[in-house]
Amino acid sequence: MNRRAYLAAVGTSLSASLAGCTSTLGVFDDSPCSGDDCTIGMTRNEFLPREYEATVGETVVWKNTSGAIHTITALESGIPDDAEYFATGGFEDDATAREQWRENHSGGLDTRETFEHTFEVPGRYEYICIPHVNADMVGTIIVSE
């Protein structure tokens, strides 16, 4: 094979291979939720939006818009004192949610599954994705009257 034909073949192969390598963000234009199907989407390592403002009585819907399994796990130290705790899997606290994830991946949200929580107490709510918290997959809901 002559050198030009070889380089053309390699170049074409490389271009075709890279064409499929787009980020999830590019596919969703910074907003993986469309219409009324969800409020907060989840990409491979990120909640979008990372911070969301809600009002008392509002139901927030998270949707796993990636191929990875995620959790939504409130941090007990990061929610108002009189607020209801929330986590995928229905756990009563973040210690149990972490333990159950470590032991048997309990509380995971598969691709296209949703989770919702209604916020009844104003304040700041911090939450994480347990398997991706080390990649900084954290989020905040700020609830106002």
The helix or strand, by DSSP H or E, that contains position 141, with its residue range, turns out to be strand 138-144
Query: Is the pLDDT reported for residue 13 higher than 60?
Result: no
Which residues neighbour 51 within 8 Å (Cβ) at sequence distance 6 or greater? 139, 140, 141, 142
As a whole number of Å, the end-to-end CA separation of the chain is 72
Q: Is the pLDDT of residue 25 over 60?
A: no
Percentage with pLDDT > 70 across the chain: 77
pLDDT digits (tens, 9 = 90+) for 63-119: 999 999 999 999 999 999 999 999 999 999 999 999 999 999 999 999 999 999 999
- Domains of the chain as residue ranges with CATH: 38-141 (2.60.40.420)
Section 24-40 average pLDDT: 63
CA distance 109 to 124: 23
50 band by pLDDT with thresholds 50, 70 and 90: very high
Q: What is the pTM (predicted TM-score) of this model?
A: 0.78
Contact between residue 38 and residue 63 where contact means Cβ atoms under 8 Å apart: yes
Backbone angles phi, psi at 122, to 5 degrees: -65, 155
